[in-house]
Amino acid sequence: MTKLSSIMIPGLGGVTAICGLAYALPTMQYQAQIAANNERIAAQAIAQAEATEAEAAAAALSLDAIKVAAEAGAFVSGAPAPQTAGFGLGRDALPVEIAAWDIDVRPDGAGLPAGSGDVWTGEEVFVEKCAMCHGDFGEAVGRWPVLAGGHNTLSDEDPVKTIGSYWPYLSTVYDYINRAMPFGMAQSLTNDEVYAITAYLLYVNDLVDDDFELSNDNFLEVRLPNEPNFYMDDRATTEYPIFAGDVCMTDCKDSVTITMRATVLDVTPDDGSEGGEEAAEEEPAETEEASVEPVKEHDPEYAFLNIQGDPAYGEYLSGDCTSCHQLSGSASNIPSILGWPRETFMLAMHDFKIGMRENQAMEMMASRLSYEEIAALAAYFESLE
CB of 170 closer than 8 Å to CB of 222: yes
> Is 134 exposed, middle or buried, given 0-12, 13-18 or 19+ CB atoms closer than 10 A?
buried
Of 96-105, 159-168, 263-272, 327-336, the one with minimum mean pLDDT is 263-272
- Residues 276 and 224 placed together within one structural domain of the fold: no
Q: What is the pLDDT of residue 78?
A: 45
Distance (Å) of CA 21 to CA 31, 33, 137: 16, 19, 84
Domain for residue 193, yes or no? yes
Distance CA 302, CA 290 (A): 15
- Closest C-alpha among 346, 326, 321 to residue 336: 326
Looking at 210, 229, 248, which one is the last position of a domain?
229
> Is 322 exposed, middle or buried, given 0-12, 13-18 or 19+ CB atoms closer than 10 A?
middle
CB of 335 closer than 8 Å to CB of 325: yes
Domain for residue 34, yes or no? yes
- Residues 167 and 270 placed together within one structural domain of the fold: no
Domain for residue 244, yes or no? no
CB of 211 closer than 8 Å to CB of 199: no
Distance CA 262, CA 270 (A): 11
- Residues 282 and 221 placed together within one structural domain of the fold: no
State CA 240 to chain mean position distance: 21
Domain for residue 253, yes or no? no
The amino acid that residue 255 corresponds to is S
Q: What is the pLDDT of residue 287?
A: 40
- Residues 57 and 119 placed together within one structural domain of the fold: no
Mean pLDDT of 72-94: 64
Q: Can you state the angle between helices 119-129 and 191-204, rounded to 10 degrees? A: 100
- Residues 268 and 379 placed together within one structural domain of the fold: yes
Q: Work out whether strand 213-215 and strand 116-118 pair parallel, antiparallel, or are unpaired.
A: antiparallel
Instruction: Dump strand ranges (E) for the chain.
Output: 116-118, 213-215
Containing structural domain, residue 366: 262-383
Mean pLDDT of 177-200: 96
- Percent of the chain exceeding pLDDT 70 equals 67
Q: What dihedral do alpha carbons 7, 13, 19, 24 form, nearest 10°? A: -160
- Residues 273 and 347 placed together within one structural domain of the fold: yes
Number of domains within the chain: 3
- Residues 284 and 379 placed together within one structural domain of the fold: yes
Query: For residue 159, is pLDDT > 60?
Result: yes
Q: What is the pLDDT of residue 109?
A: 93
Domain for residue 237, yes or no? no
Domain for residue 83, yes or no? no
- Closest C-alpha among 105, 110, 115, 126 to residue 195: 115
208: three-class secondary structure by DSSP: coil
- Residues 291 and 365 placed together within one structural domain of the fold: yes
- Residues 138 and 40 placed together within one structural domain of the fold: no
Of 20-34, 222-236, 316-330, the one with minimum mean pLDDT is 20-34
Q: What is the pLDDT of residue 31?
A: 67
Listed in sequence order, the residues at least 6 apart from 150 whose beta carbon sits closer than 8 Å to its beta carbon are 159, 160, 161, 162, 164, 165, 166
Domain for residue 23, yes or no? yes
Comparing 32 with 163, the larger pLDDT belongs to 163
Q: What is the pLDDT of residue 286?
A: 46
- Residues 68 and 144 placed together within one structural domain of the fold: no
Distance (Å) of CA 260 to CA 91, 257, 348, 380, 381: 75, 9, 10, 21, 19
Any idea what the CATH number is for the domain that residue 207 is in? 1.10.760.10
- Percent of the chain exceeding pLDDT 90 equals 35
pTM to 2 decimals? 0.44
- Average pLDDT over the chain reads 78
- Residues 222 and 289 placed together within one structural domain of the fold: no
- Residues 71 and 109 placed together within one structural domain of the fold: no
Mean pLDDT of 326-351: 77
Distance CA 105, CA 175 (A): 5
Domain for residue 246, yes or no? no
